[in-house]
Amino acid sequence: MNPAEYDYLRQFLKSRSGLVLSNEKQYLIESRLLPVARKAGLQSIAALVAKLKEPRETALAEAVVEAMTTNESFFYRDKTPFEHFTQMMMPEMLKARAAQRKIRIWCAAASTGQEPYTLAMCLKEMEARLAGWRIEILGTDISNEVLDRARSGTYTQFEVQRGLPIQLLLKYFTQAGESWTIAPELRSMVQWRKFNLLDSFAAFGQFDIVFCRNVLIYFDQATKVDILGRISRTMTPDGYLVLGAAETVVGLTDAFKPAPDRRGLYVPAAVAAATQAAPRFSALAGAGRV
């Protein structure tokens, strides 16, 4: 692969998915895209680039983007966000939404589904408090392949051993050989949709809680600013934003402020300012920290 071909693929991936690759990632493109090229009957990266430049090569373009997308995910990943969810976010929302009895949750970049299903298990564990409530969970990802896996709710022995407590595995999954499938009532709690974070959020309506973890790290600063700004406009004024451990809003947007003593959790700036006099989090300060 020559420098011109590498530059074309870098620009192609950035425009299609927001993914930013450094000059040193040529090996990654070759290792991930050569199988895509050969599956399409092409013998080299050069031939793949030439084919991508042809009009109407949408299927190949999608295959290239999917191959380059990182799909690392596991149940209860990083643990802390889910403690925040059960110990603070949901109790606060149950009070704030007592009249509507409806809460909407969005898991952006949901990958193979472990994060939305973890939230579904958290909600199932508190179902006695949710009688009569409508809780919607939307999981989105740019990749059809990982969404198909998420919809199936079936995971390998290795995948269920990563972060999932054994009591929840036995309670909510059934085993068939080396595979484990999550219970139908939990699968039905999550809706799945293919979605590119570079596209408009307008059709989604408003969400009370947004999990957008471990995806902003792959974007450049301008794309991060844009996505965070659009997330802020699709959230309720008293909603919650959850980012990954290596991500932050600081220096990117004034729309959100860090929640006090809650690593990775952010609230709309207007709410943060309004609660300085009467802290929103005081009753639960310190709960769930690790």
Please indicate if the annotation marks 22 as binding a ligand: no
Distances (CA, A) of 131 to 97, 102, 125: 13, 11, 12
Please indicate if the annotation marks 44 as binding a ligand: no
How many other C-beta atoms can be found within 10 angstroms of the C-beta atom of residue 131?
7
Give which of 106, 113, 182 is closest to 147, Cα–Cα. Answer: 113
Work out the end-to-end distance of the chain between its first and last CA atoms, rounded to an integer number of angstroms: 46
Give which of 124, 12, 97 is closest to 63, Cα–Cα. Answer: 12
Please indicate if the annotation marks 73 as binding a ligand: yes
Beta bridge partners of 106: 138, 210
Please indicate if the annotation marks 144 as binding a ligand: no
Please indicate if the annotation marks 71 as binding a ligand: yes
Please indicate if the annotation marks 125 as binding a ligand: no
Please indicate if the annotation marks 115 as binding a ligand: yes
Please indicate if the annotation marks 23 as binding a ligand: no
Q: How far apart are CA 5 and CA 20, in angstroms?
A: 15
Please indicate if the annotation marks 213 as binding a ligand: yes
Indicate the helix (H) or strand (E) that contains 181: strand 179-182
How many other C-beta atoms can be found within 10 angstroms of the C-beta atom of residue 95?
8
Token output for 43 = 């013998």
Pairing mode, strands 265-268 and 179-182: unpaired
Distances (CA, A) of 277 to 198, 205, 261, 268: 37, 31, 16, 16
Q: How far apart are CA 47 and CA 38, in angstroms?
A: 10
Give binding residues for S-adenosyl-L-methionine as ranges. 71, 73, 77, 115, 141, 196-197, 213-214
Give binding residues as ranges. 71, 73, 77, 115, 141, 196-197, 213-214
